[in-house]
Structure 1
Amino acid sequence: MSSHPYPDDLLAAQLELHQTRAAHEALCRTLPWSTEPMPGWTAEQSTMSAAGPRTVTRPESPGYTPEQAAAKQRLEGRLLELTAAVSTHPFWDTLQGEARVEARMQLKHAHDEDAASAAA
Protein backbone atom coordinates (compact mmCIF):
# COMPACT_ATOMS: atom_id res chain seq x y z
CA MET A 1 0.00 0.00 0.00
CA SER A 2 1.25 3.48 -0.83
CA SER A 3 2.22 5.68 2.09
CA HIS A 4 1.61 8.89 0.11
CA PRO A 5 -1.71 10.77 -0.11
CA TYR A 6 -1.79 11.27 -3.88
CA PRO A 7 -4.35 13.76 -5.18
CA ASP A 8 -7.18 12.18 -7.18
CA ASP A 9 -6.27 14.07 -10.35
CA LEU A 10 -2.69 12.78 -10.17
CA LEU A 11 -3.89 9.19 -9.67
CA ALA A 12 -6.31 9.57 -12.60
CA ALA A 13 -3.58 10.97 -14.87
CA GLN A 14 -1.22 8.13 -13.94
CA LEU A 15 -3.92 5.53 -14.65
CA GLU A 16 -4.73 7.11 -18.01
CA LEU A 17 -1.01 7.22 -18.78
CA HIS A 18 -0.75 3.46 -18.17
CA GLN A 19 -3.84 2.79 -20.28
CA THR A 20 -2.70 5.03 -23.13
CA ARG A 21 0.77 3.46 -23.13
CA ALA A 22 -0.81 0.00 -23.34
CA ALA A 23 -3.06 1.11 -26.21
CA HIS A 24 -0.04 2.60 -28.03
CA GLU A 25 1.99 -0.59 -27.58
CA ALA A 26 -0.93 -2.70 -28.81
CA LEU A 27 -1.34 -0.50 -31.89
CA CYS A 28 2.39 -0.58 -32.65
CA ARG A 29 2.39 -4.39 -32.59
CA THR A 30 -0.14 -4.34 -35.45
CA LEU A 31 1.66 -1.78 -37.63
CA PRO A 32 3.97 -2.55 -40.54
CA TRP A 33 7.68 -2.19 -39.80
CA SER A 34 7.98 0.93 -41.98
CA THR A 35 5.80 4.02 -42.04
CA GLU A 36 6.30 4.30 -45.80
CA PRO A 37 5.98 1.50 -48.37
CA MET A 38 9.33 -0.28 -48.53
CA PRO A 39 10.60 -3.42 -50.25
CA GLY A 40 11.55 -6.38 -48.10
CA TRP A 41 15.20 -7.18 -47.42
CA THR A 42 17.57 -9.70 -45.90
CA ALA A 43 20.92 -8.86 -44.33
CA GLU A 44 23.62 -10.39 -42.17
CA GLN A 45 23.89 -8.73 -38.78
CA SER A 46 27.11 -8.95 -36.80
CA THR A 47 26.81 -10.04 -33.19
CA MET A 48 29.25 -10.41 -30.36
CA SER A 49 27.97 -13.88 -29.52
CA ALA A 50 29.82 -17.14 -30.13
CA ALA A 51 27.08 -18.08 -32.59
CA GLY A 52 28.40 -15.45 -34.99
CA PRO A 53 26.39 -13.29 -37.35
CA ARG A 54 22.68 -13.80 -37.79
CA THR A 55 20.40 -13.25 -40.73
CA VAL A 56 17.75 -10.55 -40.37
CA THR A 57 14.81 -10.51 -42.77
CA ARG A 58 12.07 -7.94 -43.18
CA PRO A 59 9.05 -8.58 -45.38
CA GLU A 60 7.73 -5.97 -47.78
CA SER A 61 6.04 -3.14 -45.89
CA PRO A 62 2.90 -1.53 -47.28
CA GLY A 63 3.48 1.47 -44.99
CA TYR A 64 0.94 2.92 -42.60
CA THR A 65 -2.56 3.73 -43.75
CA PRO A 66 -3.69 7.30 -43.04
CA GLU A 67 -5.91 5.90 -40.25
CA GLN A 68 -3.00 4.03 -38.65
CA ALA A 69 -0.74 7.08 -38.83
CA ALA A 70 -3.46 9.28 -37.30
CA ALA A 71 -4.15 6.80 -34.48
CA LYS A 72 -0.44 6.51 -33.67
CA GLN A 73 0.02 10.28 -33.73
CA ARG A 74 -3.05 10.80 -31.50
CA LEU A 75 -1.82 8.27 -28.92
CA GLU A 76 1.71 9.70 -28.93
CA GLY A 77 0.34 13.21 -28.42
CA ARG A 78 -1.78 12.03 -25.51
CA LEU A 79 1.20 10.20 -24.00
CA LEU A 80 3.19 13.42 -24.12
CA GLU A 81 0.37 15.39 -22.46
CA LEU A 82 -0.11 12.82 -19.71
CA THR A 83 3.60 12.45 -19.04
CA ALA A 84 3.89 16.21 -18.61
CA ALA A 85 0.79 16.33 -16.38
CA VAL A 86 2.10 13.60 -14.09
CA SER A 87 5.71 14.76 -13.92
CA THR A 88 4.92 18.45 -13.33
CA HIS A 89 1.98 17.98 -10.95
CA PRO A 90 2.15 20.39 -7.96
CA PHE A 91 2.05 17.41 -5.56
CA TRP A 92 5.75 16.77 -6.25
CA ASP A 93 6.61 20.19 -4.78
CA THR A 94 5.35 18.98 -1.39
CA LEU A 95 8.10 16.36 -1.17
CA GLN A 96 11.88 16.62 -0.99
CA GLY A 97 14.84 14.40 -1.87
CA GLU A 98 14.41 10.65 -1.47
CA ALA A 99 10.78 11.04 -0.41
CA ARG A 100 9.98 12.51 -3.83
CA VAL A 101 11.80 9.70 -5.63
CA GLU A 102 10.05 7.07 -3.50
CA ALA A 103 6.65 8.66 -4.09
CA ARG A 104 7.20 8.78 -7.86
CA MET A 105 8.13 5.10 -7.92
CA GLN A 106 5.13 4.16 -5.77
CA LEU A 107 2.75 6.15 -7.98
CA LYS A 108 3.74 4.06 -10.99
CA HIS A 109 2.42 1.00 -9.13
CA ALA A 110 -0.49 2.57 -7.23
CA HIS A 111 -3.01 1.01 -9.60
CA ASP A 112 -1.31 -2.41 -9.43
CA GLU A 113 -2.45 -2.58 -5.82
CA ASP A 114 -6.02 -1.67 -6.82
CA ALA A 115 -6.09 -4.33 -9.53
CA ALA A 116 -4.72 -6.98 -7.14
CA SER A 117 -7.30 -6.23 -4.47
CA ALA A 118 -10.12 -6.19 -7.06
CA ALA A 119 -9.03 -9.61 -8.36
CA ALA A 120 -8.99 -11.11 -4.86
Structure 2
Amino acid sequence: MTGKNAFPAELLQLQERLHHAHAEHRAYLDGLPWSVEPMTGWVRGERFSHRGDVPDGPGWSDEQKETVDRMWAEIRELSIAVAEHPHWKSVPIDVLVATRMQLKRQARPVEAAEAA
Protein backbone atom coordinates (compact mmCIF):
# COMPACT_ATOMS: atom_id res chain seq x y z
CA MET A 1 0.00 0.00 0.00
CA THR A 2 1.40 3.38 -1.01
CA GLY A 3 0.09 6.92 -0.98
CA LYS A 4 -2.43 8.52 1.36
CA ASN A 5 -5.47 7.27 -0.59
CA ALA A 6 -4.20 3.76 -1.34
CA PHE A 7 -6.21 0.87 0.01
CA PRO A 8 -5.30 -2.79 0.45
CA ALA A 9 -6.29 -4.86 -2.59
CA GLU A 10 -8.50 -7.09 -0.43
CA LEU A 11 -10.47 -4.08 0.85
CA LEU A 12 -10.90 -2.69 -2.67
CA GLN A 13 -12.16 -6.08 -3.84
CA LEU A 14 -14.63 -6.29 -0.95
CA GLN A 15 -15.95 -2.80 -1.72
CA GLU A 16 -16.24 -3.64 -5.43
CA ARG A 17 -18.18 -6.80 -4.58
CA LEU A 18 -20.45 -4.73 -2.31
CA HIS A 19 -21.15 -2.24 -5.11
CA HIS A 20 -21.90 -5.14 -7.45
CA ALA A 21 -24.20 -6.84 -4.92
CA HIS A 22 -26.16 -3.60 -4.44
CA ALA A 23 -26.50 -3.16 -8.22
CA GLU A 24 -27.72 -6.74 -8.70
CA HIS A 25 -30.21 -6.31 -5.87
CA ARG A 26 -31.63 -3.09 -7.33
CA ALA A 27 -31.89 -4.67 -10.79
CA TYR A 28 -33.65 -7.74 -9.38
CA LEU A 29 -36.13 -5.62 -7.43
CA ASP A 30 -36.89 -3.59 -10.56
CA GLY A 31 -38.20 -6.78 -12.19
CA LEU A 32 -40.51 -7.76 -9.32
CA PRO A 33 -44.14 -6.80 -8.75
CA TRP A 34 -44.54 -3.56 -6.79
CA SER A 35 -46.02 -5.29 -3.74
CA VAL A 36 -44.36 -8.09 -1.77
CA GLU A 37 -47.74 -9.50 -0.76
CA PRO A 38 -50.78 -9.63 -3.07
CA MET A 39 -52.50 -6.25 -2.96
CA THR A 40 -55.37 -4.59 -4.74
CA GLY A 41 -54.37 -1.66 -6.90
CA TRP A 42 -56.08 1.73 -7.16
CA VAL A 43 -56.76 4.55 -9.54
CA ARG A 44 -55.00 7.86 -9.14
CA GLY A 45 -57.97 9.70 -7.57
CA GLU A 46 -58.48 7.10 -4.79
CA ARG A 47 -55.05 7.47 -3.20
CA PHE A 48 -51.98 9.58 -3.79
CA SER A 49 -49.81 8.03 -6.45
CA HIS A 50 -46.95 9.67 -8.29
CA ARG A 51 -47.26 6.86 -10.85
CA GLY A 52 -50.92 7.38 -11.72
CA ASP A 53 -53.09 4.28 -11.66
CA VAL A 54 -51.58 1.34 -9.79
CA PRO A 55 -52.54 -2.14 -11.00
CA ASP A 56 -53.25 -5.05 -8.71
CA GLY A 57 -50.05 -6.48 -7.30
CA PRO A 58 -49.80 -10.27 -7.46
CA GLY A 59 -47.10 -10.31 -4.77
CA TRP A 60 -43.78 -12.10 -4.83
CA SER A 61 -43.36 -15.85 -5.08
CA ASP A 62 -41.62 -17.74 -2.28
CA GLU A 63 -38.63 -18.14 -4.59
CA GLN A 64 -38.48 -14.39 -5.22
CA LYS A 65 -38.68 -13.67 -1.48
CA GLU A 66 -35.88 -16.17 -0.82
CA THR A 67 -33.75 -14.60 -3.54
CA VAL A 68 -34.22 -11.11 -2.08
CA ASP A 69 -33.39 -12.44 1.42
CA ARG A 70 -30.26 -14.15 0.08
CA MET A 71 -29.19 -10.96 -1.70
CA TRP A 72 -29.71 -8.89 1.47
CA ALA A 73 -27.68 -11.42 3.46
CA GLU A 74 -24.80 -11.07 1.00
CA ILE A 75 -25.00 -7.26 1.17
CA ARG A 76 -24.93 -7.39 4.98
CA GLU A 77 -21.95 -9.76 5.04
CA LEU A 78 -19.98 -7.65 2.58
CA SER A 79 -20.87 -4.44 4.46
CA ILE A 80 -19.60 -5.94 7.70
CA ALA A 81 -16.43 -7.22 6.02
CA VAL A 82 -15.70 -3.74 4.62
CA ALA A 83 -16.52 -1.93 7.88
CA GLU A 84 -14.51 -4.31 10.05
CA HIS A 85 -11.48 -4.61 7.76
CA PRO A 86 -8.23 -4.19 9.75
CA HIS A 87 -7.17 -1.31 7.46
CA TRP A 88 -9.53 1.07 9.28
CA LYS A 89 -7.50 0.75 12.50
CA SER A 90 -4.64 2.54 10.73
CA VAL A 91 -6.79 5.49 9.62
CA PRO A 92 -6.89 8.53 11.96
CA ILE A 93 -10.36 9.08 13.38
CA ASP A 94 -10.55 12.66 12.11
CA VAL A 95 -10.35 11.50 8.47
CA LEU A 96 -12.11 8.14 8.81
CA VAL A 97 -15.42 9.15 7.19
CA ALA A 98 -13.69 10.96 4.33
CA THR A 99 -11.41 7.97 3.79
CA ARG A 100 -14.35 5.55 3.73
CA MET A 101 -16.09 7.76 1.16
CA GLN A 102 -12.89 7.79 -0.91
CA LEU A 103 -12.91 3.96 -0.88
CA LYS A 104 -16.50 3.93 -2.14
CA ARG A 105 -15.64 6.32 -4.98
CA GLN A 106 -12.42 4.55 -5.88
CA ALA A 107 -13.98 1.08 -5.95
CA ARG A 108 -17.21 2.11 -7.72
CA PRO A 109 -17.62 0.49 -11.15
CA VAL A 110 -17.31 2.93 -14.05
CA GLU A 111 -20.91 2.50 -15.25
CA ALA A 112 -22.29 3.17 -11.75
CA ALA A 113 -20.06 6.22 -11.31
CA GLU A 114 -21.20 7.67 -14.65
CA ALA A 115 -24.87 7.18 -13.74
CA ALA A 116 -24.47 8.95 -10.38
The TM-score bracket by the shorter chain reads 0.7 to 0.9
Give the TM-score normalised by structure 2. Answer: 0.79
* 1:18-29 equivalent positions in 2, closer than 5 A: 18-29=19-30
Post-superposition Cα deviations, 1:8-56, rounded to whole Å, max 9, x if no partner, equal 21111100000000000001111111111112123333xxxxxxx9785
Bigger radius of gyration among the two? 1
Q: Which residue of 2 aligns with 1:86?
A: 82
Q: Distance in 1 between matches of 2:32 and 2:50?
A: 24
Percent identity at matched positions?
35
Give the TM-score normalised by structure 1. Answer: 0.77
Q: Which segments of 5 or more consecutive residues in structure 1 lack a partner in the other structure?
A: 46-52
Aligned-pair RMSD on alpha carbons? Answer: 2.4
Find the residue that maps to 2:78 and give its secondary structure: helix
Q: Distance in 1 between matches of 2:80 and 2:94?
A: 21
* 1:96-115 equivalent positions in 2, closer than 5 A: 96-112=92-108, 115=110
Contact 1:44 1:54 in 2 (8 A): no
